[in-house]
Structure 1
Amino acid sequence: MAATVAALAGVVAAPPAQAAPDTTPVRYTNGTYVAMGDSRASGGFFTPTPDYFLGCKRSAANYPAIVALLALPRHFVDTSCAGAQAPNLYTAGQRTNAGYKPPQVRMVPRDAQVVSVSIGGNDMRWGALVGKCTTAPLTDRFCRTRLNGEARWRIARMENRVTPALRAIRRQAPRAQIIVVGIGGFMGNHGCWPMVPISDPDVRWMNQVFNRAGDALRRAATKVDGTFVDANRLSAGHDPCNVISPWYESALSNRIAYPYHINQAGAIAVAAMVNGAIRR
């Protein structure tokens, strides 16, 4: 009897269970918009702003700034920084040539309505992969047969690093619309030496690598009820070999933007993709 009473007392004394916090993304009503990420978000192309010279190469007309012009948030926060990797978003500060930058999530308010995230390229280190494929005219390095295994582990590494970063953003902004922007877009159906000094079959293979990387980022976004913007597929036809309307600079670029990075036309295009993904 005493044991039964004690057990019942324990049941009565147990604190009531707390309801799980609501993480259903809110509809956008011009609340705070936060842009996070690496050089894809910061811009990487020259504009005379203090943020460009303070270590993060943050351009005044990067795609987040254009999203802000289109979406008209009451408050806009841009934490993007060239060279950022997924840990720099939430757990590790970033060393730049202008000093230490704290984890970007610290700048995200809990009531943020939209958070765009461009991350993963530096975790995947796509530049090292592309570098192994560059070649002289009319030659071929057969990356499509030599580097399939390497591409797979680079994509897996990226997904394993980006997923916890997105979860940290979700914890910080539990009801924000998290919009993840894919990587790629600068490889089309053929090379064009010296702008894209890679054989046609390897360029097509690289394009598929970025499609698979996008699929990995889509999976990571889904885990936090996020939205994925497939910039690689949506940029088809606007690679650097398009001399009329390229959205990305070529391997030769050293003034307009970083090599294989978004130019101003690309920033406008990606901003339109992100703005179109915002649920209103």
Structure 2
Amino acid sequence: MNSHQKLARFVAPGVLVTLLAAGEATALADPPAPPSRPGLPTGAPYTHGTYVAMGDSRAAGGSATLTADYQLNPCRRSGDNYPSMVRDRIKPRTYIDISCIGAKSANLRNHPQMMGLRQTNDPLGSMTGSMTGSLAFPIAAQLPQVPRTAQVITVSTGGNDLDWAEILKKCNIRARKNCSKNPAIKARARQGLSRLTVQATTSLRAIRGRAPQAQIFTVGLGGFIGKHGCRQVQLSTADAVWFNNLFKEANTRLRAATEGVGGKLIDVTDPGHDACSGRAWFFGRNAPQGNMAFHLNTTGRAVVANRIAGSIRR
């Protein structure tokens, strides 16, 4: 299969992806990464050219660093997020971080992201982009900021399309113990998976079209929920199992979308590193001040950075 054929591959539902794409035209040791298809990522060998980080809070997030991009930018790009750790490992001549908390897949293409001035106190607020207020303003779409000559692009997307944070709120054991059996919640999850499939696939195809020689890496979803709930992840055991299956399906779709453009999925759902674990890669509900609940902690961000850096072809 030649490169043009690879780029023409679709991820189901193919018809929806086609229609949407047409509309877009107007230092920590860690276990080895789970195996992916051999030969990925495709793209030109890395020679320390431009590295671009795209995505949502999974990419932007880190601790509350005393940096302008965190303190003065509503996108809250931390100085110790995983893209900055990748940068330190691969040492590109040019580094561009355009990730932004709350970004959806459409914001990675040509749709500006609307942000506000008032931040919610909800521990899930920052991940869902709910910095809302009467003075909303647009954040530039990410794709036009990507140089066509980029050599490495990392992408964190799909979570806000899936809408998992809002589902998680409704599944809190104090509110609803049998969330996994609730027809409305299950329907919302199915709709989220459909959105993720169409939107993430369309965005990844657009990224490939923008930077045809780049090595593309997508960071998967989930990982913070174990086999059961705990104080940090307030879910019943049945709902924890259901949520993990939801993330498993979401990652299957993200992997297909990523590999469809010659990219590689970085999976961080290794057992034993959830927010309830003593070896956690994620914060739980009560994240330290300045950090985001259910997001990668310092160890987890280093794992992601190590896996990306170790997968880059040189």
Residue identity opposite 1:224 in structure 2: V
Residue identity opposite 1:40 in structure 2: R
- Which of 248, 259, 276 aligns to 1:241? It is 276
Partner Cα distance (2:234, 2:213) in 1: 44
Work out which of the two has the higher radius of gyration on C-alpha atoms and give 1 or 2. Answer: 1
Partner Cα distance (2:250, 2:284) in 1: 21
**Displacement, 1:213?**
0.5
Partner Cα distance (1:132, 1:213) in 2: 19
- Per-residue CA deviations over 1:30-82 (Å, capped at 9, x if unaligned) read 21111100000001531111111310110001000000111111111111111
Instruction: Using structure 2 for the length normalisation, give the TM-score.
Output: 0.76
- Which of 55, 66, 71 aligns to 2:90? It is 71
Which residue of structure 2 lines up, in the alignment, with residue 169 of structure 1? 207
Which residue of structure 1 lines up, in the alignment, with residue 58 of structure 2? 40
Would the aligned equivalents of 1:43 and 1:267 in 2 still touch at CA under 8 Å?
no
Gaps of 5+ in 2: 8-41, 118-136
Which residue of structure 2 lines up, in the alignment, with residue 160 of structure 1? 198
| Corresponding position: 1:144 with 2:180 | yes
- Which of 209, 226, 230 aligns to 2:246? It is 209
Partner Cα distance (1:161, 1:69) in 2: 31
Residue correspondence of structure 1 range 168-207 to structure 2 within 5 A: 168-193=206-231, 195-207=232-244
Residue identity opposite 2:69 in structure 1: D
RMSD: 2.1
Would the aligned equivalents of 2:105 and 2:203 in 1 still touch at CA under 8 Å?
yes
The secondary structure found in structure 1 opposite 2:171 is: coil
- Which of 266, 269, 276 aligns to 2:310? It is 276
Aligned residues: 255
Would the aligned equivalents of 1:45 and 1:59 in 2 still touch at CA under 8 Å?
yes
Partner Cα distance (1:279, 1:273) in 2: 12
Which residue of structure 2 lines up, in the alignment, with residue 59 of structure 1? 78
**Displacement, 1:256?**
4.3
**Displacement, 1:251?**
1.4
**Displacement, 1:223?**
1.9
- Which of 159, 162, 170 aligns to 1:121? It is 159
**Displacement, 1:249?**
1.1
- Which of 105, 108, 117 aligns to 1:89? It is 108
**Displacement, 1:253?**
2.4
- Per-residue CA deviations over 1:138-179 (Å, capped at 9, x if unaligned) read x97222332444322211111111111111111110111111
**Displacement, 1:225?**
1.4
Kindly indicate whether structure 1 or structure 2 has the higher relative contact order, using CA contacts under 8 Å at least 6 residues apart: 2
Which residue of structure 2 lines up, in the alignment, with residue 49 of structure 1? 67
The secondary structure found in structure 2 opposite 1:228 is: strand
Partner Cα distance (1:77, 1:95) in 2: 21
Would the aligned equivalents of 2:201 and 2:257 in 1 still touch at CA under 8 Å?
yes
Would the aligned equivalents of 2:228 and 2:236 in 1 still touch at CA under 8 Å?
yes
**Displacement, 1:257?**
1.4
Which residue of structure 1 lines up, in the alignment, with residue 172 of structure 2? 134
**Displacement, 1:254?**
5.7
Residue identity opposite 1:227 in structure 2: K
| Corresponding position: 1:223 with 2:257 | no
| Corresponding position: 1:25 with 2:59 | no
The secondary structure found in structure 1 opposite 2:153 is: strand
Would the aligned equivalents of 1:190 and 1:200 in 2 still touch at CA under 8 Å?
yes
Partner Cα distance (2:67, 2:50) in 1: 22
Partner Cα distance (1:111, 1:50) in 2: 27
Which residue of structure 2 lines up, in the alignment, with residue 106 of structure 1? 144
Partner Cα distance (1:52, 1:156) in 2: 32
The secondary structure found in structure 2 opposite 1:65 is: helix
Partner Cα distance (2:256, 2:235) in 1: 29
Gaps of 5+ in 1: 1-19
Instruction: Using structure 1 for the length normalisation, give the TM-score.
Output: 0.85
